[in-house]
Amino acid sequence: MARSRAKKKPKVCLVLQGGGALGAYHIGAYKALEEAGFTPDWFAGISIGALNAAVLAGNAPEQRLEKLNAFWQRISRPGTDALLLPSMAASFNMVSVSQALTFGQPDFFVPRAISPWVAAPGEAATSFYDTTPLFSTLNELVDFDLINSNQVRLTVGATRVTDGELVFFDSESDTLTAAHPVASGSLPPGFPATQIGDDHYWDGGVVSNTPLNGILDLAKDDDLLIFMVDLWNANGELPKTMSEVLWREKEIQYASRTCADIEALIAQKNLDQLLARTPEVVDSKQVPDITSLKDGPKIDIVHITFEPLAGHNPMSDTEFSRRSIRLRSDAGYEDMKQALEASPWTQENEGLPAHFHRRAKDGSWLKASKSTLKKVS
């Protein structure tokens, strides 16, 4: 028999993937959510996604967008928001990448005074850049006392260096500081490992570039509406140049097989719910009614993904010009607006509690509840 359960408003989760400078896409995505009246109850991220999530979670709702924009202004150089002809974009972006590699980024990271190849063993010998400025920036822009007051939830993932374990730090169980999002973004060999307690951590993307599995593991009996904002696309064209080869390799590496992973997680979640409602007596003639799953926690994952801009290059994730930040933010805004207008999570759930919604190339939305995707709009 199906359980009766009063319909309740789902918790809104914003899940942000890692991707360096591509993370400006998150700004626009959040702006669209805010304009549509969605106030996340839970922020989660890895790498740049963790930094953005910390800024959002660590401010009052009416200040979040302002502070997120301030963060990106702080870590980019003035005078780099140029109006260019499309033919000039590639050259402009390469100059911006060269600046980042040579001089670092303001209030974010600076190059080591001594090459790690010749430095004495220790932290300075394990990375090319120093992330000390990032700690100060986060402490100025993020109210960690607010995060730890549990008014909103923050989860960030980082890789423990000594055993390769992906560890999720969660404000409901851990006291979070600037070290936690910094650890989540400590990508070697560019950045040093970040110490938390007795352990040292690298970027969560070393293991998995999306914190979705952590969210689903930590979630309790709440209905969830998860907006998952990715920066790398697992699907792409066959490369025709070396530049395209290098970019495609990064996409495959950092996309973390997102769609396949999510479909597996969705299938597992649905199976767990079904087994939870299976009669305890194995030889019972009762057959569990799959429609009873409608009364269990409902999870909808709405997925949008950044598409590279004109003039991008294999190092676009280190290209922090204000021009590119603006364009990536605009793209995130438009993509999230389209997702909100389609509202694919409002479709009938067909008796299964967990669904993954993503947009197809033709603009329609696909829904996965088991191992297949089907068009819903």
47 assigned to active site:
yes
Cα–Cα distance, 311 to 313 (Å, whole number):
7
Sign (positive or negative) of CA dihedral 115, 116, 122, 124 = positive
Residues of the chain with pLDDT under 70: 1-7, 256-270, 272-296, 348-352, 367-377
Question: Helix, strand, or coil here: 170?
Answer: strand
Gap between the Cα atoms of 133 and 105, Å rounded: 9
In sequence order, the 6+-apart residues with CB closer than 8 A to the CB of 30 are 14, 52, 56, 64, 65, 68, 332, 336
Reported as half-sphere exposure (CB side, CA atoms, 13 A), residue 18 has a value of 27
CB 40 within 8 A of CB 59: no
Domains of the chain, start order = 11-375 (3.40.1090)
End-to-end CA distance of the chain: give it in Å, rounded: 32
The confidence score (pLDDT) of residue 354 equals 80
Residue 220 has what pLDDT? 82
The residue type found at 220 is K
In our burial notation (b when 16+ CB lie closer than 10 A, e otherwise), range 34-52 reads beeebebbbbbbbbbbbbb
Please give the pLDDT value at position 261. 63
Give 352's contacts (C-beta < 8 A, 6+ positions apart): 270, 273, 290, 293, 369, 370
- What residues contact 303, with CB distance under 8 A and at least 6 apart? 228, 230, 258, 259, 262, 356, 357, 358, 359
Asked about 163 being catalytic, the answer comes back as no
The predicted structure's pLDDT at residue 257: 58
**What is the pLDDT at residue 339?**
95
How far apart are the C-alpha atoms of 355 and 263, rounded to whole Å?
9
CA distance 163 to 175: 23
Phi, psi (degrees; rounded to nearest 5) at 136: -65, -40
pLDDT per residue as tens digits for the range 120-165? 999 999 999 999 999 999 999 999 999 999 999 999 999 999 999 9
H runs (alpha helix) in the chain:
25-35, 48-57, 64-74, 89-103, 132-141, 144-148, 179-184, 212-218, 242-255, 258-276, 322-342
- Catalytic pick from 170, 203, 317, 335? 203
Q: According to the model, what pLDDT value does residue 361 have?
A: 72
